[in-house]
Chains A and B, each alone.
Chain A
Amino acid sequence: MGSAVLFGLVTGRGEQVFAGMLEGAQGAVEGVLRLMGSFGIFCGLMNILSASGCVEWLNGKLKKLLKMLLGNVKEEALTYVTGNLSANMLGLGNAATPLGLKAAKLLAEGERATDALCMFLVINTSSVQLFPSTVVALRAAMGAAEPGAVVLPGLASTALSTLCGVLLCKLMEKRT
């Protein structure tokens, strides 16, 4: 922000810079108001899914795959990793973070990151979200003709990014 103000002063656009800041802040308030409606709908729907036991169902599917990727880790750590990733897949960020922190603690041994911890974090940060509810809610709020148009390309590219992350991680874990 400071650099923008300085740049604006140097180029003689000081007035517009402040007007822009004000406009941005007001835009955020209006945007959040509009976002609230569509956010409410999507979080409501997601909550129906999680109350129906979708997290547990995903847990069962994921556990074997993760056991292969993470190698030999404690059963308890594996449970938290699985819980974190399935909550992330459904976009339940609030539920995912505490599970993930616990998983990271259980996977760590000393100050040097273990192979399993590296793999877990790379999978986690490559985003495994199945339904990008925030983006869809924002698109709906902004009046897009097809707010769901990001779902399928998003699914394909998030699969690609996770796959690349896992492969790279496997390749590099022996060299670092």
Chain B
Amino acid sequence: MILCCFVLLCLAVGAWKRVPVYDRFAEGAKDGLRTAVQILPGLMVMLSCIRAMEASGLMAAFCSFMQPVTERMGIPSALVPFMLLRPLSGSGALAMLKQLMETHGPDSRISLLAGVMMGSSETVFYTVSVYLAAAGVKKTRHILPCALLSCLAGYAGAFWFCP
């Protein structure tokens, strides 16, 4: 439903602004395909890492280690590794999101929560380090605490706003 509205909106805006809709669509699709190929190596490494951690029992050990704390806060323990990985690595989080959808089903609450968290936060550490390196800044002041707390607020929002 939402997606159909979105498609209609894009087409309507394009037609209204007299954009050559077909050409721009094809051009964007080409970009999308290129992006998909670009993320493949990272996704491959992260997914094989995650699978290895699952097969070795390390993931389960970690989840059950965290369980007493997370359960009290009402967080499903399967989500914890995803929440920790999200600020560190974009392709890692994407790989984990795919994994969660495979094990729990794409329509499960866990997958929905992880999807919302994915969209409402960023790879904080990576982005901050790239931008500050470009600007030649060394004293980061309150950037990281603020960015990480706002990421946490996004996580809390996911629990709040997911049906």
Contacts and interface: CB of A to CB of B under 8 A. Distances in A.
A44 B120 CA distance: 22
A23 interface: yes
B150 A168 contact: yes
Contacts of A139: 101, 106, 111, 115
Contacts of B11: 48
A114 B154 CA distance: 25
Q: Is the interface of A mostly helix, strand, loop or mixed?
A: helix
B27 interface: yes
Contact of A113 (B35, B44, B141): B141
Contact of A150 (B61, B94, B116): B116
Given A32-B39, A157-B120, A45 B28 contact: yes
Given A21-B51, A28-B48, A156 B161 contact: yes
Interface range for B: 35 or more
A165 B150 contact: yes
A13 B61 CA distance: 14
A73 interface: no
B137 A111 contact: yes
A51 to B, nearest CB: 4
B131 A104 contact: yes
Interface in A121-148: 121-122, 124-127, 129, 131-132, 134-136, 138-140, 142-148
Contacts of B145: 168, 172
A107 interface: yes
A143 B49 CA distance: 24
Interface residues of A, number: 97
Contact of A161 (B31, B107, B131, B153): B153
A32 B33 CA distance: 9
Contacts of A53: 17
B65 interface: no
Interface in A4-28: 4-5, 7-8, 11, 13, 16-25, 27-28
A151 B127 CA distance: 23
A29 B44 contact: yes
A117 interface: yes
B122 to A, nearest CB: 4
A40 interface: yes
Interface of A: 1, 3-5, 7-8, 11, 13, 16-25, 27-29, 31-32, 35-36, 39-49, 51-54, 94, 100-101, 104-105, 107-108, 110-113, 117-118, 121-122, 124-127, 129, 131-132, 134-136, 138-140, 142-154, 156-165, 168-169, 172-173, 175-176
15 contacts: A4-B55, A4-B56, A20-B55, A22-B48, A28-B46, A36-B36, A44-B29, A113-B140, A125-B122, A127-B122, A127-B154, A144-B106, A146-B107, A149-B107, A173-B142
